[in-house]
Structure 1
Amino acid sequence: MTLEGTNTWVLRAPGSPTCAIVDPGPLDRAHLDRVAACGPVDAVLLTHGHPDHSEGARTFGDLVNAPVHAVTQSLGTAPLTGDEVIEAGGLEIRVLATPGHTDDSVSFQVHDAILTGDTILGRGTTVLDGKLGDYLATLKTLAALPRGTTVLPGHGPELPDVVAVAQAYLKHREDRLAQVRAAAERLGGAPTARQVVELVYADVDRSLWPAAEWSVRAQLEYLGIA
């Protein structure tokens, strides 16, 4: 579910001697060394706590002697609240709370771009390891950003307009929620996420079903069925 792998982003204003690093990625020392070579680094930022984004963060922070900013305090050395501006790499980086993919998901807005982690992917849609209600609210927040804001995602290629993508994600979630509701009614009682996946995702590669269960579980909870 990581597409081509995790994107590590290097943020630096023109002429700045320092940079900020978003999502150092897994604990792969060769990768961390390559990213460190972009330094000096004055801040490390995490979009969320999944290991493919955060596992190498503390090691990287020690390597470059920079604070690691994270919502989940056990992952970093400096807290993020999801409502602040961080100055790093010669830039003002606005932090937006964007929960839903995970409870600790944040996005980082820099000028006319936004780094979304796994909240919006460069291709396809994301899975939910958080709450659907939070995610729908997050998508509405992103859809209210200026048109033409570039998406720099945690996986896959960049996208030209966060508004268009957020609106498409909202439509997808509404359609999928209707399918889950219909499947639950067909199954009756209190169906498991797996039972719903077998109906709703019958035409999807079974290797993707475990990830689909995360999202279906969140949808059943949202519907008051779980």
Structure 2
Amino acid sequence: MNGTMTIVEAGPIRIHSYMSPADSVHVTTQLIETPARVIAVDAQFLARYADEVVAYARGLGKPLDRLIITHAHPDHYYGAARFGVPVHALPVVRDQIIAQGDGQDPTGAAVPVDAVTPTVRITPGVEVIDDIPFVYEALSGGEAADELVIKLPDQRILIAQDLVYHGIHLFLGNNDITGWQTAVRQLASYGSYDTILAGHGLPSGPEVYAELHRYLSDARELLGDDGDAYKKAIMDRYPAYGGAFVIDIANRYLFGNGHA
């Protein structure tokens, strides 16, 4: 396996958290294995890593039931067609994906928007799947304009995806540090979750919130009008973090050549 798989045991379910290698910005797909099925959360950037996730999921011996897309950043939905299952998302996320249109992944492969557009609407609230409550919550502002958070309260697991990075440089291209700090405070206020699943990086605990606040505060201090200078400064301050390529992508939005 090229990616890194971490398994979280939680009573009647297991979470298989797949983190891709650095060339795909360490994006994670969460596979929620219930007693009767497997539910995927986010779809990978590159087709080869999506295929790796799907092959692993099929190997669990239970049907892959659905794919949930949490937000409209291509690294989390370009691989959606490889899963071969219904794609679920908040309506606002679906609309944002459609608005971005056809794309190309980093290898140059075409990604037709029709192949990755969610078709099943997620409504915030509670859905019970195999006697397990899934709590869907929509948050606005931060890493992306709109994001879905999934709570598994009985298992004390919070699937935060891109509102949480763990040991990976943050994508600041949405230019909303204040909104991200607000969202992190809201996640921290939930209080009763021991396992936090990140959109980039390995699973963590609630201590990740303080790490995020510190990084965001440092980024606010260090951001100026020179992307190269910012990259050097933030990497010097966080030398152990991975995902330097994430800074390059964000800088194209912050300092030119990107599209909001």
TM-score by length of 1: 0.70
Matched, 1:87 2:128: yes
Listed one character per residue, the Cα deviations across residues 111-132 of structure 1 (whole Å, up to 9, x for unaligned) are 2011122221232442123222
Give aligned-pair identity as a percent. Answer: 18
Listed one character per residue, the Cα deviations across residues 85-116 of structure 1 (whole Å, up to 9, x for unaligned) are 23335422112224411113222111201112
Residues 118 and 126, structure 1, Cα contact 8 Å, conserved in 2: no
Matched, 1:105 2:125: no
Counterpart of 2:164?
Answer: 120
How many residues are paired up?
199
Residues 43 and 77, structure 2, Cα contact 8 Å, conserved in 1: yes
- SS of the residue corresponding to residue 8 of structure 1 reads strand
Residues 193 and 216, structure 1, Cα contact 8 Å, conserved in 2: no
Listed one character per residue, the Cα deviations across residues 125-178 of structure 1 (whole Å, up to 9, x for unaligned) are 4212322232121011011121552111223221122xx221331233223323
Residues 69 and 87, structure 2, Cα contact 8 Å, conserved in 1: no
Matched, 1:19 2:38: yes
Q: Which amino acid aligns with 2:138?
A: A
Q: 1:114 to 1:215 in 2, by over 3 A?
A: farther
Residues 8 and 22, structure 1, Cα contact 8 Å, conserved in 2: yes
Structure 1: gaps of 5 or more residues: 185-191, 218-226
Residues 158 and 195, structure 2, Cα contact 8 Å, conserved in 1: yes
Q: 1:69 to 1:148 in 2, by over 3 A?
A: closer
Q: 1:155 to 1:53 in 2, by over 3 A?
A: same
More strand, by proportion: 2
Listed one character per residue, the Cα deviations across residues 48-88 of structure 1 (whole Å, up to 9, x for unaligned) are 2323321122442xx24x3433442133112335x322333
Structure 2: gaps of 5 or more residues: 1-19, 99-116, 256-260
Q: RMSD across aligned C-alpha pairs, in angstroms?
A: 3.3
User: Counterparts of 1:207 and 1:55 in 2: how far apart (Å)?
Assistant: 18
Counterpart of 2:184?
Answer: 139
Q: 1:197 aligns with which of 227, 230, 233?
A: 230
User: Counterparts of 1:197 and 1:27 in 2: how far apart (Å)?
Assistant: 31
Counterpart of 1:210?
Answer: 248
User: Counterparts of 2:47 and 2:228 in 1: how far apart (Å)?
Assistant: 35
User: Counterparts of 1:156 and 1:202 in 2: how far apart (Å)?
Assistant: 17
User: Counterparts of 1:202 and 1:155 in 2: how far apart (Å)?
Assistant: 17
User: Counterparts of 1:67 and 1:198 in 2: how far apart (Å)?
Assistant: 35
Matched, 1:170 2:170: no
TM-score by length of 2: 0.62
Q: 1:134 to 1:34 in 2, by over 3 A?
A: same
